[in-house]
Amino acid sequence: MMFYEMLYGKTPWAGKTPWLLLENITKTPLMFPDYPLRSELVKNMLRRMLVINDSDRMSWPELFEYPLIKIDAEDIQKQLELINQNNEIDPLLKSVEVNNFYINYNKVVGIDKTQQNKAFKNINK
């Protein structure tokens, strides 16, 4: 639930009392706000993580193998080597390319500034 809240700025279910919260969790389907946009990979992971029944919920080993979480160290190394092999650019530009690679590699999903602004406006309503 914390991951959902970090991504959307609110909990997936709410209730004024613990009883109402539990009732909402068990009876209300998981919904995703329109903003900020998140990839289907993220939504599918959340769907599997937020299952009520323990035996049906994603396990820790499954989570660590999930494509969003699992790091492909070989691919990262290859991409960094390609950047560093480019002798036509100066070290500062190489550094910028490496930083851009890490930023793009670690994004949950890219959203443009217009979508980002809409997301923050919707959260603050």
Question: What residue segments make up the domains of the chain, in order of their start?
Answer: 1-68
Dihedral over alpha carbons 109, 114, 117, 123 (to 10 degrees): -60
Residues in the chain: 125
Query: How high is the pLDDT of residue 122?
Result: 54
pLDDT over 70, % of the chain: 84
DSSP class of residue 124 equals T
Domain range 1-68, CATH class:
mainly alpha
Query: How high is the pLDDT of residue 110?
Result: 47
The pTM for the full model equals 0.63
Write out the H or E segment, with its range, that includes residue 40. Answer: helix 40-49
In 3D, which of 74, 88, 68 has the Cα closest to residue 97?
88
Confidence of residue 73 (pLDDT cuts 50, 70, 90): confident
Q: Is the pLDDT of residue 60 over 60?
A: yes
Residues 74-91: what's their mean pLDDT? Answer: 83
Query: 21-43 burial by CB neighbour count: b if 16+ within 10 A, else e?
Result: eeeebeeeeeebeebbbbeeebe
Q: Is the pLDDT of residue 90 over 70?
A: yes
Residues 16-31: what's their mean pLDDT? Answer: 96
